[in-house]
Amino acid sequence: MSTKNLVTELTNTASPDADHLRALHARLTTAAERDGVLDVAYRTIDSPVGTLLIAGTNEGLVRIAYESENHDTVLQTLADRISPRVLKAADRMDLAARELDEYFAGRRRSFDLPLDWRLATGFRRTVLGTLTTDVGYGHTASYAAVAALAGNPKAFRAAATACATNPLPVVVPCHRVVRSDGSLGGYLGGVAAKQALLALEAA
């Protein structure tokens, strides 16, 4: 037998199968969590508005991303901006996944999971915070109204930018912000998703 064949045989014989790799991965995430070296955990969930990526830190839910944002790109951004210690860890994201499931099933009107706001700063952060506390389930507000609530009535463009760059869509309800003329306006997850969420909340 040639060295090449011997090495091929060795590689094949000593290869872990998919289940084995999953078990090793699960063991790693458990140990990483225990040792406090898992900085960003994530998983995906299926929803009526497509597959959502949800990611969290020790402080709470830090990112929800639509497929249109490209999940790989989003994970790379999390690695760059928070920490490259990023692992897929479904268990740690259980609470967020459950609350989102309940919301999409129409059984939940507000979220009470801890949020990590670090990806939204300054006025944008203020706008998103205001939105979360002051524009309730089933209601809508105009960009100008949201800007006013955030303390700067003239800053409706900045309010629109805050919505367009919302790191926590759905949970931070930028889908409830519409144009003053009553038309929907844009949405980072696409207008169809915005329509679907508003319809869900109107039901």
Partner 1 sequence: MGKVPFEEIVATHGPTVWRVCRAVLGAPDADDAWSETFLSALSAYPALPADANVEAWLVTIAHRKAIDVVRAAGRRAVPVPEPPERGHTPIDGVDVGSDLLTALAELPDKQKQAIAYHYLADLPYAEVAAILGGSADAARRAAADGIAALRRTYPKEER
Taking the least distance from each CB to partner 1, the nearer of 43 and 194 is: 43
Segment interacting with partner 1 (CB under 8 A) among 25-33, 116-124, 134-142, 153-161: 25-33
- Residues pairing with 40 in the sheet: 86
Question: Which residues in the 129-168 window bind partner 1 by CB under 8 A?
Answer: none
CB atoms within 10 A of CB 3: 7
Decide whether 42 or 66 has the Cβ nearer to partner 1: 42
**Residue 80 binds to partner 1 (criterion: CB under 8 A):** yes
Residue 23 as a binder of partner 1 (CB under 8 A): the answer is yes
Q: What percent helix, strand, coil does the chain show, rounded to 5?
A: 50, 15, 40
Alpha-carbon distance 96 to 101, whole Å? Answer: 9
Q: How far is the CB of 64 from partner 1 (least distance, A)?
A: 17
Nearer to partner 1, 88 or 179 (CB): 88
Active site residues: 174
CA 14 to each of CA 4, 20, 28, 58: distance values in angstroms, whole numbers, following the listed order: 15, 12, 20, 37
When asked if residue 27 is in the footprint of partner 1 (CB under 8 A), the reply is yes
H helix or E strand, kind and range, residue 141: strand 141-142
- SS3 state at 96: helix
User: 34 has which bridge partners?
Assistant: none
Among 19, 121, 154, 181, which residue interacts with partner 1 (rule: CB under 8 A)? 19
What does the block give as tokens for 150?
Answer: 């955030």
- Residue 71 contacts partner 1 per CB under 8 A: no
Residues in the site for partner 1, rule: CB under 8 A?
1, 3, 5-7, 9-11, 13-17, 19-21, 23-25, 27-28, 31-32, 35, 37-38, 40, 42, 75-76, 78-80, 83-88
